[in-house]
Amino acid sequence: MNQPSDKTYAELAHDAIGNEELHAAIRMIQDRIGKSAQALWRDEITPEHRRLAKEARLRTLDNLDEVLAALAEKIRARGGHVHFAATAEEARHYCLEVARKHDVRRVVKGKSMTSAEIGVDPLFESEGIEVVETDLGEYIIQLAGDTPSHIIAPCIHMNKRQIGKLFQEKLGIPYSEDPPTLTRAARKALREKLLTADMGLSG
């Protein structure tokens, strides 16, 4: 389970300012993702697209009770179950009750900011249930016992040398700095977890 740092924000920021590897990683993500996003907004997304998207979002928020009720009705009509939780604690314990009901020992997760925000993982782990992140960046962070540093690229603060050493230690593969080799190793490890999981969690 990832443990939050006991350092203050100011201390963590001071450490980050002096971390040249982190600076290089952030420059890389700015060049790759930032410039692509700028180009998309400049060349493809018109002011009219933005207006329509904003109107749709606000219309949904203004009618959220009706939208959620309609969604729940459609899910139930197809044999699904819907539970509306009033609090984070209620949502966590609903997830745990589902796991207990089905004698779950391993949960595989899609990238889920909500489950991180409400603390599902620590609750499952306290009950002896293994939790496995299947998003590659989140999986790397989980193997490292670290916490995400970015919402889109959670392991952006780690370079390929660090990830190579981590995979050598945790996955038992020969050391490599080759991204495709590291990705294949993670895919193989995660496939085994996925095929033996008792429960999936996303959203």
pLDDT digits (tens, 9 = 90+) for 110-123: 988 899 899 999 99
Is the CB of residue 99 less than 8 Å from the CB of residue 129?
yes
111 is a domain residue: yes
| The pLDDT of residue 31 | 81
- Is residue 173 domain-resident? yes
Residue 31 lies in a domain: no
pTM over 0.85: no
Cα–Cα dist 67/62, whole Å: 10
22 occurs within a structural domain: no
Specify if 152 maps to a domain: yes
Residue 183, pLDDT score: 96
User: Per mean pLDDT, which of 12-16, 17-21, 27-31, 185-189 is the most reliable?
Assistant: 185-189
Let me know if residue 33 belongs to a domain. Answer: no
Above 50 in pLDDT, residue 152? yes
Question: Which residue from 106, 82, 79, 105 is spatially nearest to 94, judged by alpha carbons?
Answer: 82
User: pLDDT at position 5, please?
Assistant: 61
Mean pLDDT score, 179-201: 96
Structure tokens at 46: 């018109």
Nearest C-alpha neighbor of 108 from the set 129, 94, 123: 129
**Is the predicted pLDDT of residue 73 greater than 50, yes or no?**
yes
Q: Is the pLDDT of residue 48 over 70?
A: yes
What is the C-alpha separation between 109 and 12, in angstroms, rounded? 28
Can you read off the two tokens belonging to residue 174?
Answer: 């020969």
Q: How many domains does the chain have?
A: 1
Q: Could you list the residue range(s) of the whole structural domain that residue 150 is in?
A: 83-201
For residue 98, being part of any structural domain is answered with yes
Q: What is the mean pLDDT of the chain?
A: 91
Whether 64 shows a pLDDT value over 70: the answer reads yes
pLDDT > 70 in the chain, percent: 98
Residue 109 lies in a domain: yes
* The pLDDT value given to residue 2: 44
DSSP H or E segment with residue 134: none
